[in-house]
Structure 1
Amino acid sequence: MEWTALVATLVGALIGVGSTLATDRARWRRETGERDRETLRTVSAQFLEALTEARDTISDASRSGHLPADERAELARAATLTHGVHAKQYQLELLAAPEVGRIARDASYRLLLYRDVVVAGHLRDDPECAEARRAFREARQSLMTAMRTALTRP
């Protein structure tokens, strides 16, 4: 057998193996990216759900003018713990880009400010309560925009 045929066969095999490895690597990266994006989507949705449920609980407490102030305050105080807002925020911060984490912290902080206004005894129609609710809504909207951007395929 001629040595050029042997070299040509060897080079062809190397090219074939190399292209297969490159293709497999690209597929693996794409699949890993999809899995990571799906995990981020799930954690993002869980955090938004926790924020919304806690906000609803706080809002219900602010509407309950028939309840004594201390019971309204206790309902509002328990909202973030009951719905796991902080635990889900930490999960999101571990997985998301730093900017999304910063905006998530701001949304949680705005929720706590809303809660504190209700704990202080303000009812839903009070200007302080309306302003805190508005600030939370804006922070949550900013968070959803940042999440959409983060979840967009590159």
Structure 2
Amino acid sequence: MEWGTLAVVAVGAFLGIGATLVTDVLRSRREREQRWAEVKRITYARFLASLAQAHSRMTVAASQGESGLARQRAVHDAFLSDPQHSDAKSVLREVAISGPDHVYRAAEGVYERLRTARDLLCSEAVTFETPEYRLAIRSFFADLDALQRIMRNDLQPPSTHRHP
């Protein structure tokens, strides 16, 4: 065999191995990004569900006819006691770990809006028709909708990101 033939074979082998390595690295990166997106999707869905469920439990507790400390305790317990052990505060911490800062900041704001609604519902002077409560809950739902859009956008592949 001539040196020229050996050089061509060596270059071909080098290119073949290089292409295989690049393909494997790209596949590995894509799979890792898909797994991470799935973790975020699950966490985001859990957080949105925990907020909605906490709100539902609080409104039920507030409408039971309790007064004073009993009402306050019932609303607080409803806010904190998730039968599936995924209360909003603990899932918010998961969002802090798995989501980017802008998603976490938006999620934290929605959580705080729900806490404001909780604090209002603790008072027997507040009903579902009280302007103060209506404003608080309207703000909560508006921020919840915005958060959902932010989360959905974060889960899109980089080439298809939508801007709010």
TM-score over 0.5 (shorter chain): yes
User: Percent sequence identity over matched residues?
Assistant: 30
Q: Which structure dedicates a bigger proportion of its chain to helix?
A: 1
Checking the alignment, whether the CA contact within 8 Å between 2:113 and 2:136 is kept in structure 1 is yes
Count the aligned residue pairs. 153
CA distance in 2, matches of 1:67, 1:78: 13
**Residue-by-residue CA offset, 1:10-66 (whole Å, 9 max, x unaligned):** 1110000000011111111111111111110000001111101111111112323x2
* Structure 2: segments with no counterpart, 5+ residues: 159-164
Maintained 8 Å contact 1:61/1:73: no
Report whether the alignment pairs 1:26 with 2:29: no
Separation in structure 1 between the aligned mates of residue 134 and residue 108 of structure 2, nearest angstrom: 21
CA separation of 1:125 and 1:62: change in aligned 2, threshold 3 A: farther
Q: Which TM-score applies when normalising by structure 1?
A: 0.94
Distance in 1 of aligned mates of 2:31 and 2:13:
27
Q: Is the 8 A contact 1:76 1:119 kept in 2?
A: yes
SS in 1 for 2:145: helix
User: Residue 69 of structure 1 aligns with which residue?
Assistant: 68
Quick check: 2:92–2:108 contact (8 Å CA) kept in 1? yes
Asked whether 1:101 is paired with 2:104, we answer yes
Q: Tell me, which stretches of 5 or more residues in structure 1 are unaligned?
A: none
TM-score normalised by L of structure 2: 0.88
Mapping for residues 1-154 of structure 1, pairs under 5 Å: 1-64=1-64, 66-83=65-82, 84-121=87-124, 122-154=126-158
1 CA distance for matches of 2:139 and 2:110?
A: 9
Does the 8 Å contact 1:107/1:139 carry over to 2? Answer: yes
